[in-house]
Chain A
Amino acid sequence: MSPRGRQILFLVAAGGVGALLVWGLAGLPSFGQFDGVYADFLLRHAVMERHATNVVMAVTFDYRGLDTMGEEFILFAAVMGVALLLREASSEHGYPEDAERADAVHALGLFVVPVTVVLGLWLVAHGHLTPGGGFQGGVVLAAAAVLLYLAGGYRAYRAATPASLLDAAESTGAGGFVAVGLAGLALGSAFLHNVLPYGRIGFVDSSGTIAVIDSLVGLAVAAAFVLLFTEFLEELIAEYAESRDT
């Protein structure tokens, strides 16, 4: 197809998609006016029913906990797939020589990495109280590991995240989620039913199993993302090692 023909095709298609988007946007309920029955009910009752002040988390880890378990296992399966595909190529090349880091980068890392770890832990631990939670906090924790690599180099990164620890954390997080669900069944109620005492509203030890699942998801997600990063990094190192050897 000639460049001119492609341009015409693009303009027609872009115009069509644009018109559809504007049409869809016009049909949305106005801002803050969504009238879903489920949302109204949850906003009115979730805090008193589950003692979790973050209603989003009460939905994802309790009312619709099964959906979240499915999501958790999608991530788990994806990371396992990556590890299975990539792991055999790695580990035979040993430690690569790191690029020399400037003192300023080291100093910045000393400051940024601990702060990021604390932020991640805080997000995980307070998921049922304030915005945040296991997924978000877990990724922030993984980001701390990436920052450690950027500031401290490969050796420091691998020392802080040994593969055996990552594998254990990943499977404990994912398996623990199922175990909490089974606890509901064992106690004669439904799968993933909130069987723990709800505690005082607004405190860290409130909301029963929501806080427990939140921590488990935080563990699994942090390990999953660090594992992913490690596997891709090893691939890269293998590639560099090959191009150096030849």
Chain B
Amino acid sequence: MIALQAMVIGLLLLAGTAAALARDPFRQMIMSGLNGMLLIALFVVFQAPDVALSAMAASAVASPVMIAIALAKVHAHERDER
């Protein structure tokens, strides 16, 4: 279990850093979505299934979808300007 916990924490560090370093907003969204999925895994390996399910709601479903829609709207707007 400890090896699993260490592995998930390591992956989270990588995904979080990647999300912060990504310059393109779309890549940022993908990486922060991945970060959210790993967060769910983190809660599972630390035996907090209730929190894992809540994290699933917020970080894997709600926030990437909202960011995706916002990005699409910005793109449509930019195309409009040109």
Contacts and interface: CB of A to CB of B under 8 A. Distances in A.
Contacts, number: 59
A236 B80 contact: no
A123 interface: yes
A143 interface: yes
B76 A243 contact: yes
Contact of B54 (A136, A225, A246): A136
Contacts of A136: 50, 53-54, 56-57
A138 B57 CA distance: 9
Contacts of A243: 76-77, 79-80
A182 B63 CA distance: 35
A233 B54 contact: no
B3 interface: no
A46 interface: no
**Size band of the B side of the interface?**
20 to 34
B72 interface: yes
B69 A142 contact: no
B69 A232 contact: yes
A243 B57 CA distance: 33
Given A239-B77, A243-B80, A229 B56 contact: no
B54 A135 contact: yes
Given A131-B53, A242-B80, A243-B79, A143 B72 contact: no
B52 to A, nearest CB: 8
B60 to A, nearest CB: 9
Given A56-B50, A236-B69, A139 B80 contact: no
Majority-rule SS of B interface residues: helix
Majority-rule SS of A interface residues: helix
A225 B63 CA distance: 11
B25 interface: no
B6 interface: no
A232 B57 CA distance: 18
B49 A131 contact: yes
Contacts of A138: 57
Contacts of A123: 53
Nearest to B79: A243
Contacts of A135: 54, 57
What are the 9 closest A-B residue pairs judged by CB atoms, nearest first?
A139-B57, A131-B49, A136-B53, A243-B80, A239-B76, A232-B69, A131-B50, A143-B61, A56-B50
Contacts of B79: 243
A62 to B, nearest CB: 15
A235 interface: yes
B49 to A, nearest CB: 4
Interface string B42-55: 00001001101110
Contacts of A31: 46
A235 B77 CA distance: 11
29 contacts: A31-B46, A56-B50, A131-B49, A131-B52, A131-B53, A132-B50, A133-B53, A135-B54, A136-B53, A139-B56, A139-B57, A139-B62, A140-B56, A140-B57, A225-B61, A228-B66, A229-B65, A232-B73, A233-B69, A235-B73, A236-B69, A236-B72, A236-B73, A236-B76, A239-B77, A242-B80, A243-B76, A243-B79, A243-B80
